[in-house]
Structure 1
Amino acid sequence: MEPYVDELLGWLADPNWPPYLGCQKQLARFPEVTIDPIKEVILKNRSDPEWLLYILDFVEGHVPVGTLWKRIEPELIQLANGEVEDEEGVVELPKSAQRMLRLLKEAGETDAS
C-alpha cells in the first residue's frame, strides 16, 4: 500500500472527483501508513488550504486519535496559528486544526498541556 499513498492522497483534494470516496476508503484501511505522507502534504502544500482541510477531515474521521495524531502535532500547531483563508474567505483550516489539537489534548497525547 505504501507506494500508492501519495497518489491516493492527491485525490483527496476535491470531494467532487469520482475517485475521492474510493481513495478515502482505501487510505482509511491503513492509517499507520498514511500519517507520514500526510505530514509531508501539510508541509509542502500550505498554499492549498482547501486540500489541507480535506486532509484534516480525513485524519479526524479515519485516523484514531493518539500516537498517529501526535506525529502531526507540530503541523497542526502551525495550521492552527495560521491566517489561511479558503476561497470564500472563511478561516476553516485553522479552526479544524485547533479542534484536532483539543481532541489530542483530551486524549492525553499532547505536549501542549
Structure 2
Amino acid sequence: MENLNLYLPKDKYDFDSVTVLNNLENSKVILLITSLLEWLQDINWPISTEIAKLLLKYREETIPHVKEVLNAKDDIWKEWCLRYFVMELPDDFIIEFKDELIRIAYDPTKGEELEEVNETAQMILELIKDR
C-alpha cells in the first residue's frame, strides 16, 4: 500500500508538495484532508492559503473535518478555517455550518471572543442572510 504521507508538505515553504497535491488523484487527496487541514492552523505559513484553495476543491469531503475544528478548542484555527475555507464556499455549502456559526456568533467561548471568531461567524451569517 502506498504511503500517502509522502505527498504532504514537509515544511511551511514546501510549494512543490502543494503542486504535486494539486495534480494528485482526488481519491488520494481526500485521504489526506485531515493532515492538510492542519496547515490552516497558522495562515501566516506561506503555503497555508494554497492549501486552503486546494481544500476548497474537496468541499464536501472537507466540511466534516472543519466542523470538528469549529467544535474543538483551538480558537485561532477556527478563525482561519472560517475565513479561508467557510467564507469562500458557495452559500449552499456554508449553510451546512449554520449551527456552528450561530453558536460561535451568539454564544462564543471566552477564547472565541478574545480571538474575535464570533465576529467572523456573525459576518458569515450576514453574508448568507442576504442571499
Report the equivalent of 2:44. Answer: 16
Unmatched segments (≥5 aa) in structure 2 = 1-28
Q: How many residues are paired up?
A: 101
Instruction: Tell me the alpha carbon deviations over residues 14-61 of structure 1, each in whole angstroms, 9 at most, x when there is no partner.
Output: 022243133112112222221121111111x2x22111000000211x
| TM score, norm. by length of structure 1 | 0.77
**Which consecutive residues of structure 1, in runs of 5 or more, have no partner in the other structure?**
108-113
Higher radius of gyration, 1 or 2: 2
- 4+ residue stretches of structure 1 with deviation over 6 A? none
User: Is the counterpart of residue 29 in structure 1 residue 53 in structure 2?
Assistant: no
Identical-residue share of aligned pairs (%): 31
Q: Secondary structure at the match of 2:90?
A: coil
The amino acid across from 1:20 in the alignment is S
Aligned to 2:83: 57
The equivalent residue for 1:111 is none
Per-residue deviation, 1:90: 4.8
Which one has more relative contact order, counting CA pairs under 8 Å at least 6 apart?
1
Q: Which amino acid aligns with 2:128?
A: L
1:6/1:37 contact within 8 Å kept: yes
Counterparts of 1:33-112 in structure 2, within 5 Å, are 33-43=61-71, 45=72, 47-58=73-84, 59-60=86-87, 62-66=88-92, 68-81=93-106, 82-85=108-111, 90-107=114-131
RMSD: 1.9
8 Å contact from structure 1 (residues 49, 93) kept in 2: yes
